[in-house]
Homo-oligomer: A and B are copies of this chain.
Amino acid sequence: MDFRLTDMTDEEIAQDLSVVEPLTDSVRDLIDAVIRTEVDAEHLIAAREQIEAVVASLRAEQKPGSYGVPFTKKLHGMPYGNAAVGKRNAIAPPLEIEHQADGSATSKVVLGAAYEGPAGLVHGGISAMLLDQLLGEAVSRQHGIPCFTGTLTMTYLRPTPLGALRLRAETTGNSGRKYFVRAEICDADGPTVTAEAIMVAPANFPRHEELQRLRAQLAEAPE
């Protein structure tokens, strides 16, 4: 498990996100527009040329490889390239996750045309991706960071419509580094998909209590 600290201060990170998040949102909008557009070939070709010019401008300076998951100096993860929650990743809806008082992780999300499988319905694999992430986040509440998925069992009760959905995940127990977790997706009429998983915490990473202690110390230190 990579454990790289960023050089950026919290303020620099916030400033960076304030510019990059709207850009990522525009790319999400573009993904949807390309799927649904009915403009003629001439306009499609022009659109491609414009996009390639933007790509060239962005690639003038870039990280080698993937974004990775650097940590802030206060030990908070920055999974900004993550396929499900990444603030820089236009593939991610993004899933915004809340941790509830009862220990569950929840999310509300609206899935559009880009998440389709069967006509008008959410792709079964997208449901798996979103729940896999949420299951990891439910465990991270206990362990400090999202864990690796060991097994994931999805049960599709009925089709999940595109549109507004609610997600919920909770841990049901643990044994050493193994966490038992379950989750579901609901539309307005109730559950459409359920998941059960065993998540495995990375061996070489400090546990939640130790992370909390380190964070408290760092919060008092100058940057």
Contact = CB atoms under 8 A, between A and B. Distances in A.
Contacts of A27: 27, 30-31, 34, 51
Interface string A121-143: 00111101111110010000000
A82 B117 CA distance: 5
Contact of A46 (B57, B61, B89, B133): B57
A72 to B, nearest CB: 15
| Copies of this chain, tallied across the complex | 2
A204 interface: no
Contact of A128 (B15, B23, B37, B154): B154
Contacts of A67: 35-36, 113, 116
26 contacts: A1-B118, A2-B120, A19-B45, A23-B34, A23-B45, A23-B51, A24-B34, A26-B48, A29-B51, A30-B54, A31-B91, A34-B88, A34-B90, A43-B58, A47-B57, A50-B50, A66-B119, A66-B120, A68-B116, A81-B113, A123-B132, A128-B129, A128-B152, A151-B153, A151-B156, A152-B154
